[in-house]
Amino acid sequence: MKRQTKPLFGIVILMIIIAAVFPISALAAPSIVSLSPNLIVNDILNEITLHGSGFEDGALVTVGSTPVTTTFVAGDTLQAIIPAGFAPDVYNVLVTNPDLSTSSLTAGLTVVAPTATPTPSLTPTLTPTAIPFSRPQVVIDSNSLSVASIVYGQDFNLSVSLDNAGGSTAYGIQVTFASTDLLMLQNGGVISAGDLGVVGKSHFSQTMTAAASLSGLSRVSVDMNVSYYDSVGTAFSDKFTLFFPVAQVNNGYVASTATPTASGVHRPQLVVMSYQTDADPLQPGVQFTLTMSVQNVGNVTAKGVTMIIGGGSSGSGSGTPEAGVSAGSGTFTYFAPVGSSNVQSLGDLKPDVILNATQKLVVNVSTEPGAYPMVVSFSYLDDHGNSVTDAQVITLLVYNLPNVNVSFYQPVGTLVAGQSNLLPLQVVSLGKRTVVLGKMTVQSSGGMVENGEGLVGSLDPGGYYTLDATITPGGPGPLDLNITIEYTDDFNQVRTVTQTITLDVADMMIEPTPDPSASNGSTGVVTAPETFWQKVWRFILGLFGLDSATSTTTTPPVEQPTAVPVFPGGGSGGKG
C-alpha cells in the first residue's frame, strides 16, 4: 500500500505546482431565471427556452436526470428539445457549462399528458383535482420612462416589465399601445412579448413621441392592451392605462430642464390649417370642390405625401415601405368623389411649407341636413423611411333650403301711371319637402305699394300662397317689383328668398280741354284739312304777292234766345 501511495501523492503535488504557475481564470457560474413555456403537453415534441445569465457555448440542459438536446443562443438564452412521450411529472432543470459549473431551477418544468375528452353525463360534476393548473393572469410588474417628463418634438422610451400572477403559462403575449396624445414609433405600437410562465418576468420597451403640442396639459395617457392564451387555447385580454407627466413650457422653453439641449428627434407632421368649398351652401345633389390648406408643422420633410379622402393608409406602417394604398374603407354615404378617386399624390412637403389640395365631391341626394365629419388622411415617409399616416377630421354642413317661385296667378297687363293697379301674387313651393316660410314683403322704388306684406307659413310640395297687393306707379316705363320672403334654415339662421318681377307702365291718357269761347256763343274757327293741290295753289299766290293764307271755315255763332218782357195786364208795352 505504501508503494501505491507515493506515486499518487506525487501527482497531486505536480498538479498543485502547475495550478500555481499557470492559473486558470474562473468563469461566471450560470444562473437560470425562468423557462418559457414552463408547462408542456407530452403528446408532441416541445421546445423550451431558458432565460438567465452566464450560459456558455456547449452548455447542456438536463431535465430531471435526462439530458436533452441543447442549442446555445446567447449568454442569457438556451433552447432545449423535449421529445414527445416524456413522462408526465414536475422536473428540476439543470444547466451545466463546459467548465462543469451548474445552475438548477427547482420544479422549473411541468410535463402533463393530454387531457382526455370528458364523456357527457346527465349529472356532470367538477372535481377540483381534475384541473392540474389555473388560468394565467398577466399584470404590470413595473414601468418607467427614459425621460423625466414628455416634451413635444422629443422621442422617449417606455420600459415595461410584465409578470404572470396566475397559475399557468401565458402563451403568445401581444401588447398594443394606443393614445390620442402620443405617436407610436418604429413598430406601430404592437409588440410580441412571447410566452410568460409563473416564474420570471417579460421585459420590453416602446418608442413614443408627442403627436402635437402639449401646451396646457400636465399629463398624458396611453392605453396598453395585453392579449394571450393558455395551454388549451383559451384567449385572455387585459387593458392597462398608464399616465405620464408633461414638461411645463414657459415662453417656448422647457422650464424643467436646467440646460436645454437640442432635440435629437425629428419628424414631419401634416395639419389641415383651413378648408373651404366653392359652393355655399352645400345641398343634396350639389357638386363642389373642397380646397384644403395643408402645412407641415414638423421639422422634417414629408416624402411622397398621399392624401386620402375618407380615411385610409399607405404602405405597411413599418420601416420597410410597401406599395399599395388602403383607401377603400372610408365613409362615402354622404359625400362621394367625382372626376377622380379619393386618393391624390401631393409629392414632398418641406417643413413650414403650405400647399393647397383640392378634391371634387358631390353631396348625395339622400343626405339629410346636418353637420357631417369627414376623415382626411395623409400618408408619407419620414427621414428614416418609416410609413406614417396623419388622420384628421373636418366638418361639412349640408343644408336643404326652400325652392320657391313667385309669380302672378292671373295675367297682369300694362299698368297705368297714377292709377291703382292690382298685383295678384302667388308663392309656389317647387321642392320635395314641406317648408316653413315667414313674412313676405313686396316693395318698389317706382311706385306706392299697398297691402304688400303677408305671413306665408307652411307649404307642402306643390303648395301655394297668394297675396293681393296693389301698386300706384309714379310714371311710365319699366317698373321693378322686389319680393322678399324670410325663413329660418336648418341651423336656425335667418335667411331670405328674393325675386324681382319687371312690369310695364303706360302714361295716363289726358282728355282735350274744350274751348271756352265756343261754350259762350263765340264763333269757333275750324281749320279744314288741306290737299296737296291746295298747298301748290297757295304757293303760286304767294309768288305774286296775293293772299296765300290757309282757308278756314267759320262756324256760325249760336244765337241765344232773347227774353221778352211781360207786363201786367197782358199789354205789349203800351199805356192804356
Residue spans of the domains in the chain: they are 31-112, 138-254, 270-398, 404-506
| 270-398 and 404-506 have identical folds | yes
Closest Cα partner for 204 from 175, 239, 238?
175
Which CATH number is associated with domain 31-112?
Answer: 2.60.40.10
Phi, psi of 70 (to 5 degrees): -125, 140
How many Cα neighbours within 13 Å face the side chain of 55? 25
Which CATH number is associated with domain 270-398?
Answer: 2.60.40.10
How many Cβ atoms from other residues are within 10 Å of residue 305's Cβ? 24
- Model confidence at 522, pLDDT cuts 50, 70, 90, reads very low
Tell whether the model's pLDDT for residue 221 goes beyond 80. yes
Looking at residue 528, its pLDDT comes to 60
Closest Cα partner for 179 from 268, 241, 227?
241
Please compute the mean of the pLDDT values over residues 219-235 and round it to a whole number: 89
Please compute the mean of the pLDDT values over residues 430-450 and round it to a whole number: 92
* CA R_g for the chain: 53
- Model confidence at 444, pLDDT cuts 50, 70, 90, reads very high
CA–CA dist 214, 210 (Å, integer): 7
Percent of the chain at pLDDT exceeding 90: 32
Q: Percentages helix, strand, coil for the chain, rounded to the nearest 5?
A: 5, 50, 45
Cβ atoms 435, 429 nearer than 8 A: yes
CA–CA dist 185, 240 (Å, integer): 20
Looking at residue 91, its pLDDT comes to 92
For 504-522, what is the HEC assignment?
Answer: EEECCCCCCCCCHHHHCCC
Looking at residue 192, its pLDDT comes to 85
- Model confidence at 385, pLDDT cuts 50, 70, 90, reads confident
Cβ atoms 102, 64 nearer than 8 A: no
Tell whether the model's pLDDT for residue 270 goes beyond 70. yes
The residues with which 245 forms a beta bridge, in sequence order, are 219
Which CATH number is associated with domain 138-254?
Answer: 2.60.40.1670
Tell whether the model's pLDDT for residue 266 goes beyond 90. no
Residue matched to cell numbers 317647387: 430
Q: What is the DSSP letter of 114?
A: P
CA–CA dist 76, 49 (Å, integer): 10
- Model confidence at 130, pLDDT cuts 50, 70, 90, reads very low
- Model confidence at 77, pLDDT cuts 50, 70, 90, reads very high
C-alpha cell at 355: 400647399
Over the stretch 505-519, which tens digit does the pLDDT of each residue have? 998 876 666 656 555
- Model confidence at 333, pLDDT cuts 50, 70, 90, reads confident
Higher pLDDT, 546 or 90: 90
CATH T-level topology, domain 404-506: Immunoglobulin-like (2.60.40)
Tell whether the model's pLDDT for residue 379 goes beyond 50. yes
Tell whether the model's pLDDT for residue 242 goes beyond 50. yes
Instruction: Pick from 52-66, 237-251, 513-527 the range whose average pLDDT is largest.
Output: 52-66
Higher pLDDT, 20 or 276: 276
Tell whether the model's pLDDT for residue 54 goes beyond 60. yes
Looking at residue 267, its pLDDT comes to 81
Name which of 256-260, 324-328, 329-333, 483-487 the model is least confident about: 256-260
Please compute the mean of the pLDDT values over residues 537-552 and round it to a whole number: 72
Helix (H, G, I), strand (E, B) or coil at 284: coil
CA–CA dist 239, 180 (Å, integer): 16
How many Cβ atoms from other residues are within 10 Å of residue 380's Cβ? 25
Mean residue pLDDT of the chain comes to 80
Q: Is 103 exposed, middle or buried (CB count within 10 Å of its CB: 0-12, 13-18, 19+)?
A: buried
CA–CA dist 477, 472 (Å, integer): 13
Q: 0.75 cut: is pTM over it?
A: no
Q: Burial letters for 193-205: b for 16+ Cβ neighbours within 10 Å, e otherwise?
A: bbbbbbbbebeee
Please compute the mean of the pLDDT values over residues 402-428 and round it to a whole number: 91
Tell whether the model's pLDDT for residue 491 goes beyond 90. no
- Model confidence at 332, pLDDT cuts 50, 70, 90, reads confident
Q: First and final CA of the chain: distance in angstroms?
A: 228
